């Protein structure tokens, strides 16, 4: 399991595997993970 943080103006300095600004960035993270595990 990985942690993905959606950045906002309230919280700062959160530890996560990935930080994103826009939800559309999730697609690239999911695709990369699937390719790494031969599930795409």
Residue 8: predicted pLDDT: 87
Predicted model pTM: 0.69
Length of the chain, in residues: 40
Q: Which long-range contacts (CB under 8 A, 24 or more apart) does 24-33 make?
A: 29/4, 33/2
Per residue in 1-40, pLDDT (tens digit) is 889 999 988 887 789 999 999 999 999 999 988 888 886 5
Residue 40: predicted pLDDT: 55
Helix (H) or strand (E) holding 5: strand 4-6
How many Cα atoms sit within 13 Å of 22 on the Cβ side? 4
**Residues in contact with 2: Cβ distance below 8 Å, sequence separation at least 6, in sequence order:** 17, 18, 33
């Amino acid at each position: 399991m990985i942690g993905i943080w959606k950045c906002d103006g309230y919280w700062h300095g959160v530890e996560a595997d990935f930080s994103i600004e826009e939800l559309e960035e999730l697609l690239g993270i999911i695709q990369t993970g699937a390719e790494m595990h031969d599930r795409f």
